[in-house]
Every structure is written in structure tokens, then in C-alpha cells.
Structure 1
Amino acid sequence: MAAVPPVCRFGWRAPGFALPGTDGRRYRFDDVAGPKGTLVMFICNHCPYVLAVLDRIIRDAHDLQALGIGVAAISANDAGTYPQDGFAQMKAMAATRGFPFPYLYDESQGVARAYGAACTPDFFGFDAAGGLQYRGRLDASRRDAGPADLRRDLFEAMKQVAQTGRGPAEQFPSMGCSIKWKAA
């Protein structure tokens, strides 16, 4: 089922985390933070919205890192119900696709809850001090990738954050599959 997250709450502080990465390391927010800002993405292995634009996510992450933006991706889906989102499968995807960022596993779903993650993909762009400046879409793609020349909303917003410390006033929410929460 498609979900749409709320709009950006400017200045909201990034919750900390300590999560295992597919590379065998454990990461905290400070470990992935960049000198000009930080992008935390909630993605997963099976979501058609993520898979449709995964090449663009990788491209934008690489380009943002060159601008001093730290990047990390987190998967929080219930792997008991969605085994393709399990840690072993995450390791395989990160290796196969050559992720240029840590891919972290939020098995307890506590980090996703702290962030208020609603869907995959869900993008949280923070300034250098850890204040939220962007919560919007990658581009105008939906369940299928749009044309290659779509405006790169996420990249342009985080480039602005890197240059000015502020995100754009106008932001369009992301859209994707709802986070697959564990039963209570």
C-alpha cells in the first residue's frame, strides 16, 4: 500500500542511532554525518518504489557525498513477514549494487519509529548541526521511474543545504510502500 510522509519540520533534531551495517561495522549518526549535512534514507530491498529509482538514489548519494553530505540508508521492514528485507539479503543487495553508503539494519524498528519514517523511500536531509532541512521526494517518479531528465529534487535540496545550511521552502513529499511494521 502506498504511503506519503508528512512535510518537513525545519530544525527538528536527528535522533541518534547505533545500527549494524551490511559491511560488518556498527554505525551511529555521528559516524555517517558529513561536514555539510547528512542524508538518512529509509529504503528496503523489495519495495517497487525503491527498486524503480535505486540507480538514481545511488547516483544522488555519490554526488551528495562529493559536496560534503554524509549518507546512510536504513531498512526497518519486518523481515519475518518480508524475508527479502532480511539482513543477509540486504548484504547481498549492497554488494551487488555497490552502495556508496552504509546500509543499516533497524531490526527493532526503534530508529524508524524515532524518525517517524512512513514509507520506502523516505528521505531525511539534515544540516551540519543535525537539524532537519529536507523531507521530500527524490524526484517526481512514483511506482515507476519517470523520465531521466526529471528535476533531481533531493539532490538540489541537499546541495542547497550544503551551500547555505537551509533547505528549500517548497518541498514535495516522497511516496512509497508503507513501512512493514511488526505486529504489536
Structure 2
Amino acid sequence: MLLDTPLCDFGWQAVDFTLKDPGGRSFEMKEYLGEKGLLIAFICNHCPYVQAIAERLAQDTTELMAEGINVLAVMSNDYRHVPADSPKNMLRFAKKYGFAFPYLIDEDQAVGKAYGAVCTPDFFGFNKQGGLQYRGRLDNANMKNTTKRDKELVNAMRQIAATGKGPVQQTASMGCSIKWN
């Protein structure tokens, strides 16, 4: 089912969490809330919307991380009902697209629910105090035409890093519904 993300609830405070990657390493959100902010991306492997942006997401997040903006990705789908989203397949997907950020398993879906994530991809951009400042899309490119694109997420995260505030105008991300158990 295709869904759009809700409007940004400016200032909503990030909920701390500890999740593991498919290799079993633990990552604590508050350790990634750096001086220039944090991007949390709710993604999965099987969604055609995520597949369509995966290369651009890898490029854009690598750019952001080089500028000191931290990135975490969370997979909240119930992978027992969607085997394509299993931890083993998460490893393959991350390797295929060259993800440089931790790709974490939300085993009990508590993080996705705490954040109100609705679809994949669903982007949450936080300032250094953990206040939500961006809940929009990656860019304005459609599923096929990526030659001319406005890097909305990159620009928003740069603005957040510089000013602590996100852009007032944001366009909702859209994608497949999160597969709750």
C-alpha cells in the first residue's frame, strides 16, 4: 500500500533506542546525535520505492557523513512475513548499494512505532538537540528520471547542521507501508 509521510512535527524529540545490525553489533541512537545532527531513515529491502532511490541514498548520505552529519537506517518491517527484508538480505542490500551507514533491525518494531514511521522510505532529520526538523523526501526525482534532481534531504540536513532549523517547506516522502506484525 502506497503511503505519504505526515507533515514535520517541528521540535518533536527523538526517542533514544539501541538496535543491532545484521552482524549483531549494537548501536545507540543518542551516540549518533552529533554536533551537526542526525538523519534516521526507515527503509527496507523489498520496497520498489527504496530500491529506486537506494543508489542516490547511498551517495547523498556519504556526502552528509563526510560533512559530519550522522546517519542511521532502521528496518522495521516484520521480516518473518516479508523474507526479502531478513537480516541476511539486509546485508546483501547494503553491500549492493554501498551503504556506509549502520543498517539496523527493529526486531520488535518498537522504534518504528515510537517514531510514527509509516512507510519506506521515511526520513527523520534531527538537530543536535534531538529536535525533529525534517520529515520529507530524498529528492524531487521520480522513480526513473534522476538526471536533474533537487537534493532536498541533503539541503535540509545541511541547513539543520548550520542553523538548527529545517526548511519550512517540505514535501512528504512516499513509499510502501511498513509491514507491522
Given the two structures, how large is their TM-score scaled by the length of structure 2?
Answer: 0.96
The residue matched to 1:51 in structure 2 has which SS? Answer: helix
Matched, 1:136 2:145: no
Instruction: Give the alignment of 1:30-179 within 5 angstroms.
Output: 30-142=30-142, 144-179=143-178
Amino acid of the structure 2 residue aligned with 1:152 = K
Same amino acid, percent of matched pairs:
49
8 Å contact from structure 1 (residues 140, 146) kept in 2: no
Q: What per-residue deviation string (whole Å, max 9, x for no partner) do you get for residues 28-84 of structure 1? A: 112322320000000000000000010110111111112221101000111121100
The residue matched to 1:53 in structure 2 has which SS? Answer: helix
Distance apart, 1:146 and its partner CA: 3.0
Number of the residue aligned with 1:15 = 15
Distance apart, 1:162 and its partner CA: 0.9
Structure 1 distance, partners of 2:59, 2:48, is: 18
Number of the residue aligned with 2:2 = 2
Structure 2 distance, partners of 1:27, 1:153, is: 27
Amino acid of the structure 2 residue aligned with 1:153 = E
Distance apart, 1:23 and its partner CA: 4.1
Q: What per-residue deviation string (whole Å, max 9, x for no partner) do you get for residues 81-116 of structure 1? A: 110001111122223332110000001000000000
For structure 2, list consecutive stretches of 5 or more residues without a partner in the other structure.
Answer: none
Q: Work out the number of aligned pairs and report it.
A: 181
Given the two structures, how large is their TM-score scaled by the length of structure 1?
Answer: 0.94
Across the aligned residues of Structure 1 and Structure 2, the Cα RMSD in angstroms comes to 1.2
Structure 2 distance, partners of 1:32, 1:59, is: 19
The residue matched to 1:104 in structure 2 has which SS? Answer: strand
- Deviating beyond 4 angstroms after TM superposition, the runs of 4 or more aligned structure 1 residues are none
For structure 1, list consecutive stretches of 5 or more residues without a partner in the other structure.
Answer: none
Structure 1 distance, partners of 2:144, 2:120, is: 14
The residue matched to 1:62 in structure 2 has which SS? Answer: helix
Amino acid of the structure 1 residue aligned with 2:26 = R
The residue matched to 2:11 in structure 1 has which SS? Answer: coil
